[in-house]
Amino acid sequence: MQNNHDQNEPTKNLSYAINKNIGKQIRYLRVRENLTQSDLAAHLNISYQQIQKYEKGSSQISAVRLVLIAQFFDVSLDYFIQNTLLMKPDDNIRSLNTALSSLNNYKIQNSIIDLINTVKRSPTLNNKNQ
């Protein structure tokens, strides 16, 4: 018989993955705007350590705080949700994530992510029949 701990494991893993993904998006937006964790924290009236936890995915962000962050960066709340729902646990995504994580230059990481998003939005480049 399976215990409750085993039944909660997939939910914990999914929660962690979602928190981590949203945290990466927050970091991307913050770095894109040349802000420090302290800058963003001051705007939200929280500690820079809390921003650090959000960006690492080690702390779950409330819906209200996520809305405030979206407003601050002038993105829709859908920006965070849509990118999170695109996560798929297949080998290509894991390989891409590993490759991006191995790059120590966040500007290069962000440029690659921007390129992928451009390709994703392009009807010519994103044609599944090619």
pLDDT in tens, 4-26: 444 455 556 677 778 888 998 99
pLDDT recorded at residue 49: 97
Q: Where are the alpha helices (DSSP H) in the chain?
A: 4-32, 37-44, 48-56, 63-72, 77-85, 91-102, 106-121
CA distance 27 to 23: 6
* Contact assessment for residue 77 and residue 22, using Cβ atoms and an 8 Å cutoff: no
Q: Which two tokens stand for residue 42?
A: 């001051």
Q: Which two tokens stand for residue 16?
A: 């962690």
Q: Could you report the per-residue pLDDT of 72-102, keeping only the tens digit for each?
A: 999 988 888 776 655 555 555 666 766 777 7
Specify the pTM.
Answer: 0.59
> Is 50 exceeded by the pLDDT of residue 130?
no
